[in-house]
Amino acid sequence: MSETTRAVPRAGLREHADPRERADLREHADPRERADLRERALVLDAADPLASRRELFALDDGVYLDGNSLGALPVHVPARVRDVLTRQWGELRIRSWDESGWWTAPERIGDRIAPLVGAAPGQTVVGDSTSVNVFKAVVAAARLAGEGRDEILVDATTFPTDGYIASSAARLTGHRIVPVAPADVPAALGPRTAAVLLNHVDYRSGRLHDLPGLTAAAHEAGAVAVWDLCHSAGALPVGLDEHGVDLAVGCTYKYLNGGPGSPAYLYVAARHQAAFDSPLPGWNSHADPFGMTPDYAPADGSARGRVGTPDIVSMLTLEAALDVWDGVSVDVVRAKSLALTDFFLECVEAYVPAGRVTSVTPAAHAERGSQVALRCDGAEPVMRRLIERGVVGDLRRPDVLRFGFTPLYVGFADAERAARILAEVLAEVSDGDTVG
**pTM for the model:** 0.91
pLDDT over 80 (residue 17):
no
Rounded Cα distance between 142 and 150, Å, is: 8
Single out the catalytic residue among 57, 64, 159, 344.
159
3-class SS letters over 366-388: HHECCEEEEEECCHHHHHHHHHH
Rounded Cα distance between 163 and 157, Å, is: 9
402 is catalytic: yes
Q: Write down the pLDDT at residue 16.
A: 28
pLDDT tier at 28 (50, 70, 90 boundaries)?
A: low
Q: Write down the pLDDT at residue 146.
A: 84
Rounded Cα distance between 130 and 149, Å, is: 25
DSSP state string for 21-57: HHHHHHT-S-HHHHHHHHHHHHHHHHH-TTGGGGGGB
Q: How many CB atoms lie within 10 A of CB 318?
A: 26
DSSP 257: -
Single out the catalytic residue among 57, 135, 203, 253.
253
Q: Answer for the pair 100, 307: CB distance below 8 angstroms, yes or no.
A: no
pLDDT over 90 (residue 204):
yes
pLDDT over 50 (residue 14):
no
Residues contacting 389, CB < 8 A, separation 6+ = 421, 424, 425
Single out the catalytic residue among 22, 136, 204, 254.
254
Q: Write down the pLDDT at residue 29.
A: 59
- The residues facing 358 across adjacent strands are 7, 375
Q: Answer for the pair 404, 370: CB distance below 8 angstroms, yes or no.
A: yes
Whole-number average pLDDT of the chain: 92
The dihedrals phi and psi of 433, each to the nearest 5 degrees, come to -65, 140
159 is catalytic: yes
Q: Specify the higher pLDDT residue, 195 or 158.
A: 195
203 is catalytic: no
pLDDT over 80 (residue 273):
yes
Rounded Cα distance between 158 and 402, Å, is: 16
What integer is the mean pLDDT of 238-264? 98
14 is catalytic: no
Rounded Cα distance between 37 and 145, Å, is: 53
What integer is the mean pLDDT of 136-161? 94
38 is catalytic: no
Q: Write down the pLDDT at residue 22.
A: 32
